[in-house]
Amino acid sequence: MGMLVEGKWHDVWYDTKSTGGHFERKASSFRNWVTADGSAGPSGEGGFKAESGRYHLYVSLACPWAHRTLIMRVLKGLENMISISVVNWLMREEGWTFAEGPGVVPDKVNGAERLYEIYVKADPNYTGRVTVPVLWDREKRTIVNNESSEIIRMMNSAFDHLGAKEGDYYPEDLRSEIDGLNAKIYDTVNNGVYKAGFATTQEAYEENVRPIFETLDLLEGRLQDNRYLTGSRLTEADIRLFTTLVRFDAVYVGHFKCNIRRIADYPNLGAYLRDLYQIPGIAETVNLQHIKRHYYESHRTINPTGIVPVGPILNFERPHGRAHLPSSMF
């Protein structure tokens, strides 16, 4: 665990001293967009035209942010257009690495052994955290973007004219509702679990753990009559919530102390989680070994022994019973 300072790797843990025990996530640094015609996107510069075989995605199967991009890649059928490398689950002194292990896919594009080498290739003076996901451009030999929320937006539409699968997960008429859900779910659920788990004072922990369950309670009600968060259509808001829910009972309840309730205790959220898991292609993006081993073995400030709990027993294949709720393709 560490960061780059002017292109040099330093092994440091998150600083929570200056923030009263609170974990504060830093903004991502590379913000260019792949677009259909290569014009600039909402941020950054142009020059990144959608082309089959041009882009490469670096992911961790453990990471909920990277997981979003893996799901979107499958839903949009981009597996043959965007290649991937998968880091080892363990993130210790050298940060993410490609050390051999089950499920690891080495870096055949840059031949890197550690993820920070990719950041230094893109910017020899880079200062900041070295995070997944990373979208790499083989042509310009640089990082296009390392912000998952933006990478999934690009995947949603930029490759459509090249034969991506049909489907719009950020449809025009639902955008303001999706934006509202995303903002609340990011703050109190996706990042909320990290704020609770990485807190280093009792106050900071309690302040952050309660809102997680307030939001989950709210979503439980919303999912009573709605198949998906916005109603009958699956959107990026569901994908973003899914990657936290699927890790919740296995990791966040124990390791991050988010234990007021489990997802298994929520009938609607639990069934919704199984419903999404059973969408063709999604189960293959979920690797509970990488997920559990990453958190419990990497965060030694929280779990000094590195022991990985054996349970809980989870079965996302069980019938979800939500097929009666209205659903429409797009």
Ligand X SMILES: N[C@@H](CCC(=O)N[C@@H](CS)C(=O)NCC(=O)O)C(=O)O
Binding-site ranges for ligand X (CB under 6 A): 1, 28, 63, 65, 129-133, 146-149
What is the closest distance, in whole angstroms, from the C-beta atom of residue 153 to ligand X in the complex? 12
- Cβ-Cβ contacts under 8 Å for 102 (sequence gap 6 or more): 289
Nearer residue to ligand X within complex by CB, 133 or 197: 133
- Return the structure tokens found at 5: 């300072």
For Cα atoms 315, 74, 159, give the angle at the middle one, nearest 5 degrees: 160
Nearer residue to ligand X within complex by CB, 257 or 261: 257
Nearer residue to ligand X within complex by CB, 129 or 293: 129
Tell me the HSE value of 126 on the side-chain side, using a 13 A CA sphere.
23
**What does the alpha-carbon distance between residue 212 and residue 122 come to, in Å, rounded to a whole number?**
36
Could you give the C-alpha distances from 317 to 67, 132, 216, 320, 322, in angstroms and in order? 19, 28, 22, 8, 13
Report, in this order, helix, strand and coil percent for the chain, each rounded to 5: 40, 10, 50
What is the closest distance, in whole angstroms, from the C-beta atom of residue 186 to ligand X in the complex? 9
Nearer residue to ligand X within complex by CB, 12 or 162: 12
What is the closest distance, in whole angstroms, from the C-beta atom of residue 39 to ligand X in the complex? 23
What is the closest distance, in whole angstroms, from the C-beta atom of residue 160 to ligand X in the complex? 23
Residue 178, phi-psi category: left (phi > 0), alpha (psi -120 to 50), beta (remainder) = alpha
Nearer residue to ligand X within complex by CB, 68 or 322: 68
Tell me the HSE value of 202 on the side-chain side, using a 13 A CA sphere.
0
Distance of CA 109 to the CA centre of its chain: 22
Nearer residue to ligand X within complex by CB, 1 or 204: 1
**What does the alpha-carbon distance between residue 38 and residue 315 come to, in Å, rounded to a whole number?**
43
What is the closest distance, in whole angstroms, from the C-beta atom of residue 3 to ligand X in the complex? 6
What is the closest distance, in whole angstroms, from the C-beta atom of residue 62 to ligand X in the complex? 7
For Cα atoms 110, 33, 111, give the angle at the middle one, nearest 5 degrees: 5
Could you give the C-alpha distances from 166 to 67, 70, 212, 245, in angstroms and in order? 20, 17, 34, 26
User: Which residues are catalytically annotated?
Assistant: 63, 194
